[in-house]
Structure 1
């Protein structure tokens, strides 16, 4: 699917992003259900990925303004825990990341949770539908003004994250760069992060950990974490859509910001951020691009009561789904993502 949706996204990415920037918010975005509000048992509730939580907060505001039969609410990846997602629900540990979101979805029923946010693709062993709505890319960030070169090859990144390259003076394939004698500090996001699993998979790394990795695993896409302070040798995977939203579209706030990190980098000579059009590079290597998803139980999608609620929000636009229609396309680009066109809302099985 990736190569097909990639072409669809490229055709309108720049124009859509410019439009999206002009509609960067549609009212105040929610972060968790509003104080004093507990979603009804019949509402649609999501949790999981940090990468798309800001977008889902904005979607909640915009969708609920249309007065749907079942409103949509979303719980952030971090905050107080446990949470009671909706009226009558079982209290659960707050899911932080794609993996925890999917696990929570499948360990409970729609009386507790309806959707898992996921920035990783379909995985085996779950009777779920993975429903894509936008395209993202994952690159790397370094400390602003630090020791890392502007460009790293895929081989460099693989070497860094497999610990075969541990010093900047081992990077010899970057023209004009003479690496200092300084130890590289590879950092990965928290366990369960879809960005972490996708980035490592793109580098053909299957190990769950490596001895040279920093023991601290900060929240994904947050350069404000204390581990980065003064760390001139840091290397960290980063969602480029999330970065665009933070840098250009006013979507960062509090700790959800790029902080001391810099994503104005390249992989294999391919610039990550198109600074002229304020989007991520539409010609970025396919290896590092991905769809982002809402995950639902297959049984819920087919259910006579739960199915229509989910489909009103997530289904293909030709079937009346809100998220894949024109009303939401500018919202998608205003959060730094690229649209999928006709591929939005397709169903991919998790098993």
Structure 2
């Protein structure tokens, strides 16, 4: 197995410039607060998941255009380094991934961070936070375009590949004769919600399998140098994020599939419906998840902070903006509607 030095950080100047140029159907999408803008102490700021950061950038632009009492700003998962999320806040390491966002939320107060973006659901055992779902996503698999992976893999095949009981394409016998070539298994960075969800779907706990590549690329990006020329690469991928990148111009120079292709199938079911440019809701439920914004329960109940959060995140029947006004925006980033389940409160951490 080769070992390629992991990128230390995605080139910040390229990422900021490229994504700043992306225009959402409902307003300009911005990476981080706009240049020269420092969120006010009373504004809402978030960090965490890469999977929903593009949507939240679009949400920030659309919501703030309504001139709310407290504006909303979303800090991207990369580049690495410290950020000062809002006026008066202490400097913190930029949260990268759902786990990092939730951990940062629970180790600070709303003077620093108001909510975490999360592509994983709540863990049992603590009622510190409310997980508030707003859309559905699916996680599938991607592989090197034109490489040795077949178009279709069964769930049994995928589980064997990721638990390392299948290490060579030739061991897969239900897809015709495949090349005699070692499979190069990649998983996203530690703390990634997509990583934790995928490992759960694959039935993988601890200790972790030993055949994985030592490089852990940023989730939902096929632009990592480790993938270049690797015709045996396989990598889990948020299908909503992929659709946003490929069909809806939601990506950037680095936030893109690169050499990877998620237009594959599982158990004979296509992951992507290319005609409708949507992920396939007929995929096994094992691969479908909710995506969330996470807030402290104490903040949700607070007389000052609570109304700010509820104006953005609450259920449509309570006039929460996302659930009442952002259906078109949600679809334009590749996610599926949660319907009446949008804005429900789920306890956990």
Same structural fold, with TM-score higher than 0.5 when normalized by the shorter chain: yes
- The aligned residue for residue 190 of structure 2 is 191
Deviation at 1:259, TM superposition (A): 0.8
Question: Using the alignment, how far apart are the partners of 1:304 and 1:162 within structure 2?
Answer: 48
Measured in 2, the distance between the counterparts of 1:100 and 1:342 equals 29
CA distance in structure 1 between the aligned counterparts of 2:261 and 2:31, rounded to whole angstroms: 26
Greater shift in the superposed pair: 122-131 or 157-166: 122-131
Count of aligned pairs: 326
Distance 1:130 1:145 in 2: 39
2: CA distance, partners of 1:24 / 1:85? 23
For 2:29 and 2:93, the matched residues in 1 are separated by 23
Partner of 2:4: none
Structure 2: how far apart are the matches of 1:168 and 1:244?
Answer: 27
Indicate the residue corresponding to 2:138 in structure 1: 137
Corresponding position: 1:155 with 2:156: yes
- What is the DSSP-based 3-state SS (H/G/I as helix, E as strand, rest coil) of the residue aligned with 1:323? helix
Matches within 5 A, 1:77-96: 77-96=77-96
What SS does structure 1 have at the residue aligned with 2:212?
coil
- What's the counterpart of residue 341 of structure 2? 343
Q: How big is the shift at 1:26?
A: 2.1
Gaps of 5+ in 1: 1-22
Aligned to 1:19: none
SS of 1:85 mapped into structure 2:
coil
- Cα pair distance change 1:61/1:289, threshold 3 Å: same
Report what 2:329 is aligned to.
Answer: 331
1:241 aligns with 240
* 1:189-247 deviation digits (Å, cap 9, x = unpaired): 00000000001101111136321100000100001111110110001000000011011
> Which structure ranks higher in relative contact order (CA pairs < 8 Å, sequence separation ≥ 6)?
1
Separation (CA, whole Å) in 2 of partners of 1:147 and 1:50: 28
Describe how 1:264-303 pairs up with structure 2 within 5 A. 264-303=263-302
Aligned positions of 1:53-68 closer than 5 A = 53-68=53-68
Shift of residue 270, structure 1, vs aligned partner: 1.1
Runs of 4+ in 1 over 6 A off after TM superposition: none
- State how far apart, in whole Å, the 2-side matches of 1:263 and 1:92 are: 34
Match of 2:37 in 1: 37
Across the aligned residues of Structure 1 and Structure 2, the Cα RMSD in angstroms comes to 1.1
- TM-score of the two chains, using structure 1 as the length reference: 0.91
Q: Partners in 2 of 1:103 and 1:241 — Cα distance?
A: 25
Confirm whether residue 216 of structure 1 aligns to residue 231 of structure 2.
no
Which TM-score applies when normalising by structure 2?
A: 0.92
